A and B are shown apart, each in its own frame.
Chain A
Amino acid sequence: NAGVTQTPKFQVLKTGQSMTLQCAQDMNHEYMSWYRQDPGMGLRLIHYSVGAGITDQGEVPNGYNVSRSTTEDFPLRLLSAAPSQTSVYFCASRDRATYNEQFFGPGTRLTVL
């Protein structure tokens, strides 16, 4: 199993540009989440999904969109990038049962100029 994969690993954008961060998992997990990590702030939840076709907002959803058309994929879209979105983005997945560990991707380091 590849686990949770994220692409790209690094990305530089200009203010106002849009892009999609890709996330895929091959463990047939129903739960998937996106987090951003900033220095001194820990991980903050952006959006999450409990199954295909179902998404919900987390702590910091503004400026981001998600969709979940398949169990495997959970892309994160930046609609109009802003310098405040400079961060490291982590995708994660876990089994439907609420008592299981979460598996993380390697992260995408995004810089918005």
Chain B
Amino acid sequence: SQQGEEDPQALSIQEGENATMNCSYKTSINNLQWYRQNSGRGLVHLILIRSNEREKHSGRLRVTLDTSKKSSSLLITASRAADTASYFCATDKEEAGTALIFGKGTTLSVSS
């Protein structure tokens, strides 16, 4: 079964609003990563947060990690139409030599 589960499955907002999506996972991790996928394209890495970090920022992105609850959130501030995409969390298990496991994703639609 998949490690991560994003919530909500779909999110529709207006330009300028903030978008928050959540990810829950099952096992202990080394780090958690967020990726973005535009329609019909491959995935692009957005941000990585390590298990000993609680919050990280990158431009308009803010990621939090709560290892006690096994959950993470991605906040996109001041959304733009160009942010319309699917967003996936991916977890890196604690033991070495494993592959990233992805959740089912959140589809974000930003209308102007």
Interface hub of B35, B41, B42 (most chain A Cβ within 10 A): B42
Residues of A contacting B104 with CB < 8 Å? 40-42
A residues within 8 A CB of B101?
A: 45, 59
Question: How far does the alpha carbon of A58 sit from the alpha carbon of B33 in the complex, in Å?
Answer: 19
Q: Does B20 lie at the interface of the complex (its beta carbon under 8 Å from any beta carbon of A)?
A: no
Count of CB-CB pairs between chains A and B under 8 Å: 62
User: A101 touching B42 by the CB < 8 A rule?
Assistant: no
In this complex, how many residues of chain B approach chain A with their Cβ under 8 Å: the count is 26
Write the residues of chain A forming the contact surface with B, with a CB cutoff of 8 angstroms.
Answer: 31, 33, 35, 40-45, 48, 50, 58-59, 90, 92, 94, 98-107
B-to-A contact residues, CB < 8 Å:
1-2, 30-31, 33, 35, 41-45, 48, 50, 88, 90, 92, 96-105
Q: Could you list 28 examples of A-B contacts with CB < 8 Å?
A: A33-B100, A41-B104, A42-B2, A42-B88, A42-B104, A43-B88, A43-B102, A45-B99, A45-B102, A48-B98, A48-B99, A59-B1, A59-B2, A59-B101, A94-B100, A98-B96, A99-B50, A99-B92, A100-B48, A101-B45, A101-B48, A102-B33, A102-B35, A102-B45, A104-B44, A105-B42, A106-B41, A107-B42
